Amino acid sequence: MPGQLKEVRNRIKSVQSTQQITKAMKMVSAAKLRKAQDAIIQMRPYAQKLQDMLSNIVSNSDGSVSMKLATERPVNKVLIILVTSDRGLCGGYNANLVKLARQVINEQYAEQNSKGNVEIWGIGKKGYEAMQRTGYKANDTFKDLFLQLSFENVQKASAAAMEAFSKGEFDVVELVYSQFKNAATQQFKTERFLPIPKVENKGAAVKTKSDFIFEPGKEELITELMPKILNTQLFKAVLDANASEHGARMTAMDKASDNANELLRSLRISYNRARQAAITTELTEIVSGAAALNG
């Protein structure tokens, strides 16, 4: 019986130590989330307006302007940019992103994948490691990008993707990332990066028209703007993923702390029952011994 009590006490101490860690991680994630949330909230309207403007220009181009980054061609080679996190302990965040990436490959690019023509660029170690472990062609060039998250570092990944697309190394580039909604909610989504998607017009009555005045010239300005807007688009996706990661980790650590409370309550009940049983046994032995002596 004493051995059983000692075992329960050790388990209680272990759970209490784990709970302290989960509470600390929750507080750290909450602090990081506030900063990451402010960054994406400020970035999102600007990035969305630029993307809308670019899609509008591409959709209404009369063909007089060379737009290599918007050129549609038969899809033989595919690049998936998968944005995950560097660390775990954030619930199903990374697993859901990896699952979505595999779903996109299996449903949209199964033929290309069977020929070995699908490549994964992992931004974040978890996505890269998961895809490499399951036999996909994974590139580790940008997997450590979150170690120094900045627009300049994200721009390197964006520029590399644009250059590869322009050279014909890939015919389509897809983004797989998590869009931040709030601390408890993330939307896992896939988004076309290249070629630049056109605005879908449903009938002539609602057809969008680009009402822009180009100075000094349309081709020169578009050639300059396209890469910058695409850099901004990828940076927005990375900021979304960064905020989503901290939100997911904060929620996961909060639930872990609650589970630890429930486990502690159960262990304390077990400890008290075992302690009461030990006391009852000792009292019974004392009474029995006293009775034997008196008899």
**Adjacent-strand bridge partners of 81:** 121, 175
Q: Residue 196: count other Cβ atoms within 10 Å of its Cβ.
A: 21
The label of the residue with tokens 């993330």 reads 186
Token couple for 225: 């703007």
State the Cα torsion 75-192-234-117 to the nearest 10°. -30
Strands 78-83 and 185-194: unpaired
256 in catalytic set: no
Q: How far apart are CA 53 and CA 56, in angstroms?
A: 5
DSSP character for 83? E
Instruction: Give how far the C-alpha of residue 78 lies from the chain's centroid of Cα atoms, to the nearest Å.
Output: 21
Q: 107: number of CA atoms within 13 Å, CB side?
A: 7
Which residue among the candidates 8, 82, 90, 176 is catalytic per the annotation?
90
The amino acid occupying position 74 is P
Q: How far apart are CA 198 and CA 189, in angstroms?
A: 18
Catalogue the active-site residues.
90
